[in-house]
């Protein structure tokens, strides 16, 4: 006869999922703790850090630049008719500047990095794990965590804000091009109107959360790749999970930053 659980009894399936979730949280916490511990322990792998900055920043610059230009162009073209109906077309540079620098630029750039950089880190570390390269580094007396994880996370943490600044600048130029499609506005007048509308409270929170975006992308990609298993299948799974979780982390951090900014 099939046994029926009592109303107050937790199903084994739900219990196992809760246990797995708590174990995952504990593993991620230990991984983050080890990262901060290894970061401040000498020696620092400076040459590998510079190489990772080149891979994360320079190799992503073209994609970020094209996306930023289109972002500013499309936002301006779509916003102009609405502002024209209310006779507020002169506010177009200010509206675009606040929208891009405060929210759209950092989030879109972080999502691009989550897809390109996060998946690349997850796949690279996953392939190193399944081919036992990480184990070989430990046998050789090299600290693989410091050489592989710390340098990549530090590179994403510092380069994502740089990419955000580049994306914002190019997006504003794209907006300037869109404004001149139907009219004639000087470069100086457009950017004076745009920057006059900006305040310290618009720029500073956007830059601060960009650092958190970069850290989340790096640590999630490294974590999923560092603990990859099941051969080549695990490599693809690590890359996929890194993109999904990093993108989700970007939205969560952005939500928290928006709430803190509104409170302060």
User: pLDDT tens, 113-167?
Assistant: 999 998 888 888 888 888 888 878 877 777 888 888 999 999 999 999 999 999 9
Find the mean pLDDT for residues 90-103. Answer: 87
Of 64-73, 97-106, 126-135, 202-211, the range with the lowest mean pLDDT is: 126-135
Question: Would the pLDDT of 6 be above 60?
Answer: no
Q: State the Cα–Cα distance between residues 51 and 153, nearest whole angstrom.
A: 12
Residue 2 in this model has a pLDDT that exceeds 80 = no
What does the domain layout of the chain look like in residue ranges? 47-263
Whole-number pLDDT of residue 105: 92
pTM higher than the cut 0.75: yes
Q: Binning pLDDT at 50, 70 and 90, where does residue 188 land? A: confident
Per-residue pLDDT at 147: 86
Separation of alpha carbons 123 and 239, rounded Å: 5
pLDDT at 113: 93
The average confidence (pLDDT) of the chain is 85
What's the pLDDT tens digit per position in 204-250? 889 999 999 999 999 999 998 888 876 677 788 888 888 999 999 99
């Amino acid at each position: 006869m099939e046994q029926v659980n009592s109303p107050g009894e937790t199903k084994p399936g739900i219990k196992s999922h809760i246990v797995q979730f708590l174990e995952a949280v504990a593993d991620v916490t230990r991984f983050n703790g080890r990262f901060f511990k290894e970061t401040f322990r000498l020696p620092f792998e400076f040459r590998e850090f510079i190489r990772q900055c080149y891979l994360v920043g320079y190799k992503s610059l073209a994609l970020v630049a094209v996306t930023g230009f289109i972002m500013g162009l499309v936002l301006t073209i779509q916003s102009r008719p609405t502002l024209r109906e209310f006779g507020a077309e002169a506010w177009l540079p200010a509206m675009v500047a606040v929208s891009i620098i405060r929210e759209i630029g950092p989030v879109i750039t972080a999502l691009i990095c989550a897809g390109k950089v996060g998946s690349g880190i997850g796949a690279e570390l996953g392939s190193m794990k399944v081919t036992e390269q990480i184990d070989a580094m430990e046998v050789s007396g090299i600290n693989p965590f410091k050489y592989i994880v710390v340098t990549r996370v530090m590179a994403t943490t510092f380069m994502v804000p740089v990419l955000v600044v580049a994306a914002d600048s190019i997006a504003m130029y794209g907006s300037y091009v869109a404004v001149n499609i139907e009219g004639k506005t000087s470069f100086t007048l457009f950017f004076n109107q745009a920057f006059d509308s900006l305040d310290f409270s618009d720029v500073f929170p956007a830059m601060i959360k960009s650092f958190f975006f970069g850290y989340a992308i790096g640590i999630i990609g490294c974590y999923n790749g560092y603990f990859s298993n099941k051969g080549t299948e695990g490599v693809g799974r690590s890359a996929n999970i890194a993109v999904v979780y990093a993108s989700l982390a970007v939205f969560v951090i952005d939500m928290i930053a928006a709430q803190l900014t509104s409170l302060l």
